[in-house]
Amino acid sequence: MLYAFLIPFPQILINIALMVWMALSIVGCNKSTLVKTKYLWLLPIFYILYFIGFFTSETMSFKFLEYKLSLIIFPLLFFLHAYDQKQRDSILKVFIGGLVASALVCLMMAFYNSFDIHTGDFSFHPNVLEGKGFIESVLYGGNYFFGRHLSIFHQTVYYAMYLCAGVAVLLFVPKLFSTKLRTPLLGIFLLFIFLVSNKASIIALVLILIFKLYTWNVNRSKKAIGFSLFVMMLAAFVFFNPRIKESAINVIEGKIALNKDGRYGFETRLLSWEAAISLIKERPAFGYGHTATQAALNKKYQEKGYIFPLKEGYNAHNLWLQSWLENGLLAIIILFGIFLVLLQKSWHNPLFMAFVLLLLTNSLFEGMFNRFSGISFFSLLVCFIISEAKGGLTEE
């Protein structure tokens, strides 16, 4: 339970909670608590690919393998103990509590950083970038209340992903909280997703909300009203968020294209994807190995004149492309198998299907296995779904 609460907080706290969870699971396990499902082996098999690559690479990085340990730890945790429905509900409730607590801490720090009391005058300066107006500072990530300066514990893509998972829990398992509490919680999470402004998670949020409308068990007229409210909310979301509004305008006007000088958002994603695809075409079967992949990407960035991705040392920013680069075609087959199993397990479980939509969307925009924040949450959700007995969480 402690781990679920600390997910949105700093990694050092999460690691401590994870060690405590592991110790308690080992002490309390017996034959009756074991979860016997072959699918829990999918993540460890993926880890074996990295482990083999560790010995076949020219340079060895133990830190790299440490980042991937979640692929072993979480399957083991969910193998050692079969969590019943009450325990699973408690995990979800505690996770929601952690999200609320982390949001409050982030907001308090934003206000603290914005108030200037050093000169003797009490003034409010939320801008981080000097010489930029409020809107400009929002657009380019220089405002304490938006983007990476608000998300102080994790990169925006992962914190927004946690918040989207929280929205999914509140929408698809309403029994966990009363309506009076669930409505303001939804408002808080939606507000913070708006402020964090990560595009991948906003796309995932839209898909989750559409899926909620699709599965909503009401008559057609109420569904039509709900869909209309959703469209209006989405329009307001785009209109009042400068970063999302700019991206939407670029898409509508057909300005999304390769720009070698791109420095922000989707522009740099396109450059990373194009470079990664070029490398995959050169070595499609076995990839480059985890230690050589970044060097190969940097070399390709340099060849193509992609200045900013080279300067920042960007990975492929796509789980599928990054996995293919690091471990070859076999990694894609295993990753495809993982999502296939998740879809099978989630087919009659709306919450799990929302989780799968969230993971799949983020996998397209981020190399999730290159950060502890991503690979740990991915592993947690995958094992949470795979280890669920028949007749799991349902709406009430």
Whole-prediction pTM value? 0.88
Per cent of the chain over pLDDT 70 is 81
C-beta separation of 346 from 352 below 8 A:
yes
pLDDT confidence of residue 198:
82
Give the confidence band of 247 by pLDDT, cuts at 50, 70, 90.
low
**CB-side neighbour CA atoms (13 Å) of 179:** 1
pLDDT value at 272 more than 70: yes
What pLDDT is attached to residue 261? 64
Please tell me the predicted confidence (pLDDT) of residue 188. Answer: 93
**pLDDT for 173-219, tens place per residue?**
999 999 899 999 999 999 899 888 788 888 899 899 889 888 877 77
Q: pLDDT tens-digit profile of 79-133?
A: 988 888 899 999 999 999 999 999 999 999 988 887 776 656 667 777 766 655 5
pLDDT computed for residue 34 by the predictor:
83
Out of 16-25, 122-131, 381-390, least confident range: 122-131
Domain ranges of the chain: 2-116+124-255+328-386, 265-323
What is the secondary structure of 286-344 as a DSSP string? T---HHHHHHHHHHHHHHHT-HHHHHHT---SSHHHHHHHHH-HHHHHHHHHHHHHHHH
- pLDDT bin (cut points 50, 70, 90) of residue 305 is confident
| pLDDT one-digit tens code per residue, 318-356 | 999 999 998 889 999 999 999 999 999 999 999 999 999
Higher pLDDT, 51 or 248: 51
Residue 6: pLDDT band with limits 50, 70, 90: very high
Q: Residue 393 — φ and ψ, nearest 5°?
A: -60, 130
pLDDT at 321: 94
* Residue 216 DSSP symbol: -
Question: What is the rounded CA–CA span in Å between residue 245 and residue 237?
Answer: 9
The pLDDT assigned to 142 comes to: 66
3-state secondary structure of 115: strand
Query: 200's torsion region: left (phi>0), alpha (psi -120 to 50) or beta?
Result: alpha
In this prediction, residue 138 has a pLDDT band, given cuts at 50, 70 and 90, of low
> Residue 1: what pLDDT?
75
Q: How many CA atoms lie within 13 A of 254 on its CB side?
A: 0
State the number of CA atoms in the 13 A half-sphere of 187 facing the CB.
Answer: 6
The SS3 call for residue 127 is strand
pLDDT, greater one: 126 or 161: 161
Question: In whole numbers, what is the pLDDT of the chain averaged over residues?
Answer: 83
The predicted-structure confidence for 139-153, as pLDDT tens digits, reads as follows 555 677 888 888 899
265 close to 156: Cβ distance less than 8 angstroms: no
Q: Label residue 395 by pLDDT band (50, 70, 90).
A: very low
Residue 166 has pLDDT above 90, yes or no: yes
With a cut of 60, say whether residue 392 has pLDDT above it: no
Kindly tell me if the per-residue pLDDT of 22 is higher than 70: yes
By mean pLDDT, which of 8-12, 251-255, 345-349 is the weakest? 251-255
Range with top average pLDDT, 220-234, 250-264, 276-290, 329-343:
329-343
